[in-house]
Structure 1
């Protein structure tokens, strides 16, 4: 992936974290998954859900795809708690230069360094760019 694309994606992700109702952090998960590996990309999203949910300490979560919600885009997902459907994370799956980059943002109450380390240990992850 070129540095220009990386920098653009980083800046776009940073813009999503601008102050709102809750303070957010983010991570761009760069993968080796190509466009024909969308099933593997979905499985990786499930694995990342478990990592972020565990680090956030919110209990069990499920992945909401928003297929019935006009406010959701294609390849946009949320991790919500089972108990009360509280926000844990949101993600967009982007195809860049032939491989998927998964952009996650989540509440800022997690240990960002520990989370990045856990994400980098997952299969199919090339590297993780923390934001900010």
Structure 2
């Protein structure tokens, strides 16, 4: 693995993956999208939903927005399966140093390297830091 672009964000993300109900992996998606490009960032989140759900083998999923649920904070989202609303991923959208970084957590068992390659191929993605 290459060195993380943002060591502090990497360490904070890694700490959130500590053992819980399910084993999680994560990634930080560094974008070229500035603070005024929130619509493009939302479109990227939709694309990431499809890529992560495909790699997780969960089938079709939808995005549950945190701003409509008191259990979530602003800019916090979850991917859930259409069939039974099973957890697929969770993310935070952060504006850091003028561009958006998207922090994703998802159930372990995903081929991290392959997922990272597919995410890097998306428009507006500058780099991906995989978090074991």
- For the residue of structure 1 that corresponds to 2:42, the secondary structure is helix
- Listed as ranges, the gaps of 5+ residues in structure 2 are none
- For the residue of structure 1 that corresponds to 2:116, the secondary structure is helix
Shift of the 4–115 alpha-carbon distance from structure 1 to 2, 3 Å rule, reads: closer
| Alignment-derived partner of residue 19 in structure 2 | 19
| Alignment-derived partner of residue 101 in structure 2 | 101
Shift of the 123–24 alpha-carbon distance from structure 1 to 2, 3 Å rule, reads: same
Stretches of 4+ moved more than 4 A in 1? none
State whether residues 33 and 99 of structure 2, in contact with CA within 8 Å, keep that contact through their aligned partners in structure 1. Answer: yes
Using the size of structure 2 for normalisation, the TM-score is: 0.95
Aligned ranges for residues 29-108 of structure 1 at < 5 Å?
Answer: 29-108=29-108
Deviations 1:55-110 (A, max 9, x none): 00011000000333212011000000000000000000000000000000100111
Shift of the 4–109 alpha-carbon distance from structure 1 to 2, 3 Å rule, reads: closer
State whether residues 66 and 75 of structure 2, in contact with CA within 8 Å, keep that contact through their aligned partners in structure 1. Answer: no
Give the Cα–Cα distance (whole angstroms) in 2 for the partners of residues 94 and 68 of structure 1: 18
State whether residues 93 and 102 of structure 2, in contact with CA within 8 Å, keep that contact through their aligned partners in structure 1. Answer: yes
Give, in angstroms, the shift of residue 23 of structure 1.
Answer: 0.4
Aligned length, in residue pairs: 130
Give the Cα–Cα distance (whole angstroms) in 2 for the partners of residues 30 and 104 of structure 1: 11
Give the Cα–Cα distance (whole angstroms) in 2 for the partners of residues 67 and 49 of structure 1: 18
Give, in angstroms, the shift of residue 4 of structure 1.
Answer: 9.7
- Listed as ranges, the gaps of 5+ residues in structure 1 are none
